[in-house]
Amino acid sequence: MQHSVVFLDRASLQAEVRRPGFAHAWQEYAASEVSELPHKLRDATIAITNKVPLRSDTLQRLPNLKMIAVAATGYDVIDVDYCRTNGIVVSNIRNYAVHTVPEHAFALILALRRNLFAYRDDVANGKWQRVDQFCFFDHPIRDMFGATLGIIGEGALGQATAKIARGFGMKVLFADHPPPKMPDVEFTPFEQVLKQSDVISLHAPLTPDTRNLIGSKELRHMKRTAILINTSRGGLVDEQALVEALTQGVIAGAGFDVLTKEPPKDGNPLLELRLPNFILTPHVAWASEGAMQFLADQLIDNIEAFVAGKPQHLVT
């Protein structure tokens, strides 16, 4: 058979995407709205999506669909249960961002631990020019060496982040949390990690078990000098609770690359923060040139493996 492949949000991937090596028709759209999917996918046997949701009410109108190739590691935009029940194969991308996401996480950690943005703003506002000595100490500067990093999510990204942390001389704790689990990882109870860590970094998938994993209770268990880093999924953190924690000094800072809804066209409480101890970047931790090309190549590898009868990187 000739497959019909439809890429729903091609603009989300700034890399060269080779065409599959089997007979196929190819259609791509820069972006897609959910309301457009029954029309765009009416003949598709293979759908490629990064962040366009494919839920049961859409999928049940697509009898020809055999595979969904997710152009990301996270697959919370897919109704996996429906796909499993109805024989639709779902594959995702593995281990493509093992360098770029941990590097971004540590860029956030370093900036916050050393209060770089607060000092930058002071210089921009002329404060250095007005003091009587060669420097000033208005914001605490905390070393990485000897600090404790708590990691929630013990997969490839969490473990790569731990490797960087150990290079700085940090102590690393992996928090026990809802599945999935990796073998041969020594876990520390979740609440203990919250209490002991100077930095908490999130690297867990978004599932019903992990949604709002960090809320008011968890934030208040953290040290007042601790910072929270999220380069994973926005839904892992109660965003309003984080706003309150930052404005009330419950924790010392936070660095986020993700929000619950992206892009935040309808607003988000974190967008209103104008604090030097909060950094928000637009979901770009994954997006180095090398990582995107690796993703694009594996995306087509997954599709070719499925058509060859040897599907890989399955989530169903």
Catalytic residue numbers? Answer: 233, 262, 283
- The structure tokens listed for 262 are 């992206």
- Residue labelled with tokens 């003949």: 43
Edge-to-edge strand order for the sheet containing 171-175? 187-188, 171-175, 148-152, 199-202, 227-230, 253-256, 278-280
- The structure tokens listed for 270 are 């974190």
CB 164 within 8 A of CB 148: no
- The structure tokens listed for 292 are 């995107």
- Residue 136 is classified by DSSP as -
- Residue labelled with tokens 């990582």: 291
Q: State the chain's maximal CA–CA distance in angstroms.
A: 78
CA distance 210 to 202: 11
Side chain identity, residue 138: D
Instruction: Indicate if the alpha-carbon torsion angle 33, 38, 39, 44 is positive or negative.
Output: positive
CB 194 within 8 A of CB 174: no
- Residue 78 is classified by DSSP as B
Three-class SS of residue 205?
A: coil
Distance of CA 154 to the CA centre of its chain: 14
